[in-house]
Amino acid sequence: DWNSGNVIADQVARIRERVGDSRVICGLSGGVDSAVAAALVHRAVGDQLVCIFVDHGLLRQDERRQVEEDFVASTGVRLVTVDAVEQFLDALAGVTDPETKRKIIGREFIRCFENAAEALVLEAAADGAPIKFLVQGTLYPDVVESGGGSGTANIKSHHNVGGLPEDLQFELVEPLRALFKDEVRAIGRELGLPEPIVARQPFPGPGLGIRIIGEVTRERLDLLRLADAIVRAELTDAGLDADIWQCPVVLLADVRSVGVQGDGRTYGHPIVLRPVSSEDAMTADWSRLPYDVLARISNRITNEVPGVNRVVLDVTSKPPGTIEWE
Ligand code: XMP
């Protein structure tokens, strides 16, 4: 009989046994998998674990605070944050091609993580307790997708910003390898993790960087972050979170259209809403959101987000459309 308390007790015992006195590092993304994996390992070995969180500036509103404050408060995990916002903005300057953005974001992410890990490795070695293990939040569907192989750094490394290079010489600890997402959420709740992290919908590793169609700039990220926060708040208030797989909010930064606001003509950017329902993101249908919810979102975005004068709804299924616009 599946029971999150049993899984936790079992994993804690195994992790303790395997890790012994060694130290462990874990990258946090802000998402549920890495948070639950880290919390489990922390329950097992306490401060032998250090987590690394890279703020690439492409996160949604409040996500950094949720990790740095709420996650840390609920677990007691030792956390190192890498503030890499400038570095990512510089690297992304002038870039508009989606795959190039992904490559750059992935590359910079690995750089940041490696630098932070290296500093921790040196510090730990000086303490006489080397870091031997790396925690990954690999789930059962990821294992199946990869053909069941073990010990790989990350099967989605081409797709996932969490993917790490092979020359980071750590043994992997993957306490969620036998679990499905809803089981991971149950364990996260049992471990007392903050609800916004446990309930977080899928969010791509490259974050808001692939939701700005056009060049990524600080100003555009600020606009998109605001629009995205409005959409999330309204969907949650309307009780729609459980019906929606995810809802990308996309800024068409290179498109302008004419509008009228107050007694002036505007020439602003459109925001696209892309709410979808799906089982596994392989296929998806556009969500039939209630008109009154759409109306509220549209009113709020056009009133509250400077430079945005139009909100449009994406009514394409997948296929032929992908969930993300890039
Ligand atoms: P698409 O757009 O391909 O998205 O229909 C399918 C799912 O994958 C997510 N996605 C990504 N996740 N790195 C990620 O970690 C990426 O580069 C990436 N691109 C898309 C997307 O949010 C959806 O859940």
- Average of per-residue pLDDT across 98-117: 97
CA 102 to chain centre: 14
**Quick check: is 118 in a domain?**
yes
Edge-to-edge strand ranges of the sheet holding 49-55: 78-83, 49-55, 23-28, 131-135, 171-173
Closest to 181 in 3D by CA, of 61, 280, 66: 280
Q: 105 by DSSP, 3-state: which?
A: helix
Q: Is the CB of 318 under 6 A from ligand 1?
A: yes
Q: Is 35 found in the same domain as 102?
A: yes
pLDDT at 102 over 70: yes
Of 53, 119, 101, nearest in space to 217 by CA:
101
Q: Are 188 and 249 contained in the same domain?
A: no
Do 191 and 95 share a domain, yes or no? yes
pLDDT surpasses 90 at 145: no
Residue with tokens 């809803």: 182
Asked if 302 and 257 count as a contact pair (C-beta separation under 8 A), the reply is: no
Query: Is residue 223, in this structure, part of any structural domain at all?
Result: yes
| Backbone phi, psi, residue 236, to 5° | -65, -45
DSSP 8-state assignment for residue 284: B
31 is in an annotated binding site: yes
Contact (Cβ atoms closer than 8 angstroms) between residue 209 and residue 60: no
CATH number at residue 175: 3.40.50.620
* Whether residue 322 has its Cβ less than 6 Å from ligand 1: yes
Would the pTM count as exceeding 0.90?
Answer: yes
> Token pair for residue 235?
């969907």
207 known member of a binding site: no
Contact of 56 with 88, CB cutoff 8 Å: yes
Query: How far away, in angstroms, is 202 Cα from ligand 1 center?
Result: 8
Quick one: which atom of ligand 1 is closest to the CA of 278? 24
pLDDT (0 to 100) of residue 155: 30
- 145 CA to centre of ligand 1 in angstroms: 15
Distance (Å) from CA 244 to ligand 1 centroid: 15
Residue identifier of the C-alpha nearest atom 9 of ligand 1: 204
- Cα separation of 157 and 106, whole Å? 9
Tell me if 204 CB under 6 Å of ligand 1: yes
32 and 116 housed in the same domain: yes
Tokens of 122: 């040196």
Residue of minimum CA distance from atom 3 in ligand 1: 322
What's the structural domain count of the chain? 2
pLDDT tens per residue across span 43-86: 999 999 999 999 999 999 999 999 999 999 999 999 999 999 99
Task: Determine, yes or no, domain membership for 323.
Answer: no
DSSP 8-state assignment for residue 225: H
Query: pLDDT by residue (tens digit) across 189-221?
Result: 999 999 999 999 999 999 999 999 999 999 999
Q: Which value does ipTM take for this structure? A: 0.99
Residue 247: the pLDDT is 98
At 185 the three-state DSSP class reads helix
**Residue 82, C-beta contacts closer than 8 angstroms, at least 6 positions apart:** 52, 53, 54, 55, 112, 113, 115, 116
Full domain range(s) for residue 113: 4-198
**Does 202 contact ligand 1 (Cβ within 6 A)?**
yes
Best mutation site among 29, 324, 325 for ligand 1, i.e. most ligand atoms within 8 A of its Cβ? 324
For ligand 1, say whether the CB of 34 is within 6 Å of any of its atoms. no
Residue 275 has pLDDT above 50, yes or no: yes
Query: Does a structural domain hold residue 325?
Result: no
User: Do residues 193 and 266 share a domain?
Assistant: no
The answer to whether the CB of 155 is under 6 A from ligand 1 is: no
Kindly state the average pLDDT of the residues 248-272.
96
Q: Is residue 122 in some structural domain? A: yes
The reply to whether 188 and 81 lie within a common domain is yes
CA of 205 to the centre of ligand 1 (A): 8
Whole-Å CA distances, 117 to 44, 81, 92, 107, 255: 21, 11, 23, 15, 41
Residue 119 has pLDDT above 50, yes or no: yes
